[in-house]
Amino acid sequence: MATFDVHPAEMQSAAPARRLSQHGRLVLVWLVLATAPFLLPNAYWVSLANLALINLILIASLNLLMGYGGQISLAHAGFFGLGAYASGILNVKYGISPWMGLPAAALVAGLGALLIGIPALRLRGHYLAMATLGWNAILVVFFTQLVDLTGGPNGLLGVAPFSLFGHALDTEMKIFPLVWAVAFLVMLAILHLLRSRVGRAVRAVATNELGAEAVGIDSFRTKLVVFVLSAAMAGVAGSLYVHVNQYASPETFGIAPSIMLLVMVAIGGAGTFFGPVLGAIVYTAVPQVLLDYEDAELMLFGLGMLVVLILFPGGLAGIPAAIARALRRKAS
Amino acid sequence: MSATLLEVTGLTCRFAGVTAVADLSFQVKAGEIKAVIGPNGAGKSTLFNMIAGVTRPSEGAIFLDGARIDPLPTFERARRGIARTFQNLQIFREMTVLENVMVGRHLVGRATTLTAMLRTPAVRAEERTMAEAGMALLERFGLAGRAHQPAGALSFGQMKVLELARALAGAPRLLLLDEPAAGLPHAEADRMAQTIRGLNRDGMSVLLVEHNMRMVMSLSHDILVLNNGRRIAEGSADEVRSHPEVLSAYLGEEVEDA
């Protein structure tokens, strides 16, 4: 059932500290990222950095579910949308602050996952993928048809930005620290979870359900918890997205982005902690690079993904290990 | 006389017209090693799976310490103190050897999804004690040197030992062993027998399904012999060995090399 490899080298929880610990690396990466607004040439680039960090929350949370939990979800963009619309509608229709909208978005997306998870997680592999795909399609219908609430195909307009002490975080530069901090907290929460009995149970269920049940792990409950948690994190990303862009429209949360997110988990390296960082960079940057090729854009994107996954089945995060292996082979 | 730990009454299992286990009743006393033997197809595995919670009995009941457990799923039985190993190994290959044992301590831990994400001081302390307890177990079983390697890199014999260590990590009351010697060379099988005897001396109750007669005869306090899903004999090694029905069931072959 676990279609995506879990790479043990990435997750040696109690391994002797040979090099920098995973925590140390995370902090280091985030300190480097903090310099982005000062180094990037203009606001457009900073907007891409914000988008990349939001994408990172999406890909990292999906990686928790797929890479570590062994479950395939094709509804991740749908949960992203649930969070975006929940936070956006609360703000536009009821004047509720984005700061309240953020946890509300997590809650709504989590509930959306609970609703489909209870029946769907009894299914395995392809059936679960299809059930979640159907759920995403239904959500898009809601986003499009509930015009009074969502604005329908025209999108949800007039969403307020986050504000701090009466000061609106309404430019790319001003909002960056918040997106940066939330993305860090999500990554930290995932790392902490993986290094606990809960995270080990998640991975155990993914690798061997029979063995997991034998040591007292309720595999269904474990799958449900990680599914709901992953969706709640996508909801957080949705809330950030809607208040950063001050707008949301249904096509952002459709099946196509759900599939792309899943591919990005694989491209980055499913079941590796830092793989999603690479996945998020690719997901955000490649469309920009290919902008000039217009119609050929998707085709080139697809081709590139095929090449990466054929050459490096472990994703981009697996490249150093793959090269080391190749060198060893040559040496021996 | 020690108390009854596991009691099976009138247990029957039918698959599509075939009766794999028929009206079987027996007990495992606290602190004893009980073995179930029988020729291929005798119903040993079906019996084992019914006790572990993998197969549903058609009739009958299973009690652990007087409480009925047969309607419970596998993980609930583990929570009540039944740990098991598998004949064809169900270890977490991609996880490290230490992590495998730590998963075995799942029931001992208290961290929840929320406290784990926040990494509260309690969770931090739990992780430390879990890793220490896991290492202590690995040391006891001679696997400490491999603690940080993926479990899939171990030899078959080491995996069997690891699975036993994982089962013990949750501090069970009853250990179900499904052919612990299967696939092991003589020396390793003997070492496994010594390990099981050592565990039993420390008070562990064991129910064992095994083909290796040497192991069964040398280890068990009590042996249940099945044939065609029915009990044909039950008693000590000597009693079972000389039982005429047992001899005919085995055609005198396997029992002799015991």
Which residues of chain B have a CB within 8 Å of the CB of A219? 75
Distance (Å, rounded) from C-alpha A3 to C-alpha A5? 7
Whole-number pLDDT of residue A5? 41
Write down all domains in chain A, each with its CATH number in brackets.
Answer: 22-331 (1.10.3470)
B240 forms bridges with which residues in the sheet?
Answer: none
Whole-number pLDDT of residue A321? 79
Q: Is A261 a residue whose pLDDT tops 50?
A: yes
Distance (Å, rounded) from C-alpha B118 to C-alpha B214? 52
**pLDDT confidence band for B205 (50 / 70 / 90):** very high
pLDDT, tens digit (0-9, with 9 covering 90-100), for B89-103: 999 999 999 999 999
Whole-number pLDDT of residue A10? 42
Q: What is the CATH number of domain B1-78+209-258?
A: 3.40.50.300
Q: Considering only residues 68 to 97 of chain B, which have any Cβ-Cβ distance to chain A shorter than 8 Å?
A: 73-75, 78-79, 83-84, 86, 90-96
Q: Is A258 a residue whose pLDDT tops 90?
A: yes
Q: Is A193 a residue whose pLDDT tops 70?
A: yes
Q: Is A193 on the interface with B (CB under 8 A)?
A: yes
Whole-number pLDDT of residue B233? 87
Q: How many CB atoms lie within 10 A of CB B201?
A: 9
Contact B92 A203 (CB under 8 A): yes
pLDDT, tens digit (0-9, with 9 covering 90-100), for A75-133: 999 999 999 999 999 999 999 999 999 999 999 999 999 999 998 888 776 788 889 99
In the Cβ-directed half-sphere of A129, how many Cα atoms lie within 13 Å?
Answer: 11
Average pLDDT, chain A: 87
Among B90, B119, B169, select the one facing A192 at the smallest CB separation.
Answer: B119
CA-based nearest distance B243→chain A, Å: 35
Whole-number pLDDT of residue A234? 97
At B171, give phi and psi (nearest 5°).
Answer: 50, 60
Dihedral of CA B19/B20/B26/B27: which sign? negative
At B70, give phi and psi (nearest 5°).
Answer: -65, -25
Q: Is A14 on the interface with B (CB under 8 A)?
A: yes
Q: Is A8 a residue whose pLDDT tops 70?
A: no
Q: Which residue has the higher pLDDT, A125 or A266?
A: A266
Q: Select from B224, B216, B225, B212 the least CA-distant residue to B181.
A: B212
Whole-number pLDDT of residue B4? 92
User: Strand, coil or helix: what is A218?
Assistant: coil
Distance (Å, rounded) from C-alpha B76 to C-alpha A218? 8
Chosen for mutation from B93, B99, B110 (greatest number of chain A CBs closer than 10 Å) is B99
pLDDT mean over A141-154 = 89
Q: Is B106 on the interface with A (CB under 8 A)?
A: yes
pLDDT mean over A215-234 = 95
Closest CA in chain B for residue A190: B117
Whole-number pLDDT of residue A330? 78
CA-based nearest distance B205→chain A, Å: 17
The least confident of A95-104, A243-252, B185-194, B243-252 is B243-252
Contact B84 A225 (CB under 8 A): no
Q: Is A217 on the interface with B (CB under 8 A)?
A: yes
**pLDDT confidence band for A38 (50 / 70 / 90):** confident
Contact B95 A207 (CB under 8 A): yes
Average pLDDT, chain B: 90
Whole-number pLDDT of residue B36? 94
pLDDT mean over A324-328 = 81
Closest CA in chain A for residue B172: A215
Quote the ipTM score: 0.90
Q: Is B112 on the interface with A (CB under 8 A)?
A: yes
